[in-house]
Amino acid sequence: MVDPSRMETPRPHLAAVESDGDRAELLAQIEELSNRLVHVQIERDEYAQRNSELFVLQQVFSTINSTLDINDILSTVLRGVCEALKFNRVILFDVIEGALIRRMEGDINGNISATPADRARDFIEGSVLQALAGGTEQLAFGDASEPNPPLADTSGSFIAAPLLARDVIRGVLYVDQPPKEPIDENQIGVLLEFAAQAAIAVENARLYEETRRLLEETQRLALTDPLTGIANRRALNEMLERELHTAERYDSPFCFVILDIDNFKQINDSGGHSAGDQALKRFADCLRRTARKGDIVARYAGDEFIVVMTQTDRTAAEHGAERILGALRKAGIQCSIGAAMFPYDGTDGQGLLYAADEALYRAKASGKNQYQFYKRSANPEVPAP
């Protein structure tokens, strides 16, 4: 027999004991929880998207801060914009003296290319792009349905932001064809961050290029004779040292030549210093045109010039001296030339200069307008003159 005391008392069904008010409250709580879950999921997706954008942004910043090559910087920025914002097209405009020039563009697949020259001004005149370039607008966004879109082929929504550095607009960053419509504040904010950092990087690269150009120009001027434009004495010493090292290493002779304009004092006395300067310029131009590729041409001092005929033996050096004299005579210039051979007449710059100067003195004493080689040339193949 079954013990009645151990038998469970049947529970009434929940629906039987719940009141209508309890049921409604429970359903409301379930709906609230469902809505909260949806919002949490949306926020989670937004945070994930934002995290992805910030990650790309950080990578781009790290890359552009590691290089000063302007094209590398711009390519990195354009790829980063497409990757972070998923816009299908991005275009970078240069702004030069307030004028827009279409420079570079890319797409969602990471393809970046320079804009062809015939499309450099491919944009709508009077559009917001020019307002951004001129500084009258700080941000532009809209869609292709507007009466005056930025481009003839504007597609979907677009955003455009200036690249502003040191209160100067260096460019405009433009994107269109977003992954979904309409564009949101987050997309605009990320593009502004790209534009701001790109502007700084571009400005740094520009300053670096300008500094490098000025340094190169300063170095060039320091090694260039200001009147004639050829190498000066300082540059001659540096180039001669390199040539001596090369000649010693490869056992290669060369000819060291001093040239002095004949009767230069008379030119100055009769025509003044301007006439003398013109004679020096014509003399230098003639030497520059006559010299072979690889030869050294320099102004040593006053009306004295140096030509180093590299990788040249005595016979070739004589032909070279005759060629120089012939070219100068055609130009209406007379000069005397003294020549010395490395390594026979000297093994360093001072020795070669001394020997060539001795030969120049003999050329002057022998009637000028001629060349002479140093008498103690040790070249066994060609007798000394």
Q: Is residue 4 part of a domain?
A: no
Q: Is residue 223 part of a domain?
A: no
pLDDT digits 0-9 by tens, 182-212 = 888 888 988 898 888 888 888 888 888 888 8
Are 291 and 367 members of one domain? yes
Which secondary-structure segment (H or E) carries 338? strand 335-342
Q: Is residue 304 part of a domain?
A: yes
Are 177 and 292 members of one domain? no
Are 153 and 259 members of one domain? no
Are 245 and 165 members of one domain? no
The rounded distance, in Å, linking the Cα atoms of 317 and 339 is 8
Are 307 and 359 members of one domain? yes
pLDDT higher than 60, residue 177: yes
Q: Which two tokens stand for residue 304?
A: 């004295």
Are 302 and 357 members of one domain? yes
The rounded distance, in Å, linking the Cα atoms of 245 and 375 is 25
Last residue of a domain, one of 152, 186, 217: 217
CATH classification at residue 91: 3.30.450.40
Are 328 and 198 members of one domain? no
What is the count of structural domains for the chain?
2
- Quote the domain boundaries for residue 194: 61-217
pLDDT digits 0-9 by tens, 5-49 = 554 555 544 444 456 667 777 777 777 777 776 666 655 655 555
CATH classification at residue 277: 3.30.70.270
Q: If you ran DSSP here, which 8-state letter would residue 13 be given?
A: P
Could you give the strand order of the β-sheet that contains 335-342, starting from the edge strand earlier in sequence? Answer: 296-301, 304-309, 254-261, 335-342, 371-373
Last residue of a domain, one of 158, 186, 217: 217
pLDDT digits 0-9 by tens, 90-141 = 999 999 888 999 999 999 998 999 999 999 999 999 899 999 999 999 999 9
The rounded distance, in Å, linking the Cα atoms of 202 and 191 is 16
Q: Which two tokens stand for residue 229?
A: 């434009």
60: pLDDT confidence band, cut at 50, 70 and 90? low
Q: Which two tokens stand for residue 56?
A: 């790309």
Q: Is residue 83 part of a domain?
A: yes
How many C-beta atoms lie closer than 10 Å to residue 170's C-beta?
A: 20
Please report, as a single letter, which amino acid is at residue 123. F
Last residue of a domain, one of 217, 249, 282: 217
Q: Is residue 383 part of a domain?
A: no
Average pLDDT score over residue span 242-256: 95
Are 213 and 305 members of one domain? no
Are 169 and 254 members of one domain? no
Output the pTM of the full model.
0.56
Q: Which two tokens stand for residue 141?
A: 């966004």
Catalytic residues: 303
Q: Is residue 38 part of a domain?
A: no
How many C-beta atoms lie closer than 10 Å to residue 342's C-beta?
A: 25
Are 121 and 243 members of one domain? no
How many C-beta atoms lie closer than 10 Å to residue 259's C-beta?
A: 27
The rounded distance, in Å, linking the Cα atoms of 197 and 205 is 12
